[in-house]
Amino acid sequence: MQGDAPKALGQDSIVEAVFEIRFTPRATSAGDLLPGLMYPTVGKRYPTVLGLPLAQIPRAMRQTNHAFVYQPLNALVGTNMRLALGDQVMSVSVSKPYPRWPSFRELIGEAVIALERTEIVREIERISLKYVNVLPPEKGTADLSTLRLKLELGDFPLRPQGQIVRAEIEHGGSTHIVQVTSGTSVSVNLPGSTPFEVKGVMLDVDAVTNGPFKCTWSAIEEAVERAHAAEKDVFFGLLTKETLNRMRPIYA
């Protein structure tokens, strides 16, 4: 790590931030029930209800295929924000432009309180906080030189594009799943989102904290704050000094 982490970057690299809860439900049809139960509480922020493709698959098939267990069935959509709901999952996501942590934290707290009021969750299995960043290329080359990371395959030269790294880091009470992809292009044009396209090196850090937790904001608030602080340590600890300075760090 390179000293104290900045509070923000003048050249923000976040294209998406996602907070996810995986839970044990009291009802097997939680994914179908939650949009209606939560809408009276959160509908002002997320006025549009969308059915997602997985909702078309029969429940019996979803419940026997582990790949579907933690996938959302429906989404409540607002401006650059989305609340996704499934039989055993709830996620809150925001897309570029990132509203900064205090605002995102407020969205998370409101969603957890709304979920608690439904009384449909027995306990929370785990929480995760994921940030997807696209770092602008330096001198037009979107390779791993922007990071404190070096990848070699014997004496063979590597192309700037197509370098992919996945690793796990234990830090600050969370397991951080770090994924790096060079030479990427990310474009978004979803309902409720501001369209954008960015190119560079994708740095994806997902801070996972295992429970069980009670389904209350007070039960997980400290863990969420701790995961956010630890995720920042990991993210900024992977940037070179040159990359950090180029992105105009803000400390005050």
**Does 147 score more than 70 pLDDT?**
yes
Per-residue model confidence (pLDDT) at position 2: 46
For residues 160 and 249, the model is more confident at 249
For 178-220, the pLDDT digits (tens) are 999 988 888 888 778 888 899 999 999 999 999 999 999 999 9
Domain boundaries defined on the chain: 8-250
55 and 72 in contact (C-beta within 8 Å)? no
Amino acid at 162: G
**Does 173 score more than 80 pLDDT?**
yes
- What whole-number distance in Å separates Cα of residue 198 and Cα of residue 201? 10
Output helix, strand, coil percentages for the chain, rounded to the nearest 5: 30, 40, 30
Tell me the pTM: 0.93
For 64-94, the pLDDT digits (tens) are 777 888 999 999 999 999 999 999 999 999 9
Could you tell me the two tokens for 105?
A: 């934290």
For residues 140 and 164, the model is more confident at 164
Could you tell me the two tokens for 219?
A: 């039960």
For 111-124, the pLDDT digits (tens) are 999 999 999 999 99
208 and 128 in contact (C-beta within 8 Å)? yes
| Number of other CB atoms surrounding residue 200 within 10 Å | 23
Residue with token string 């570029």? 96
Residue 54: pLDDT band with limits 50, 70, 90: confident
DSSP state, residue 240: -
Please provide the average confidence, as pLDDT, over all residues in the chain.
91
Using the Cα atoms of residue 213, residue 220, residue 5 and residue 147 in order, give the sign of their dihedral.
Answer: positive
- Residue 170's DSSP bridge partners are 175
187 exposure class (CB count in 10 Å sphere: 0-12, 13-18, 19+):
exposed
Per-residue model confidence (pLDDT) at position 117: 96
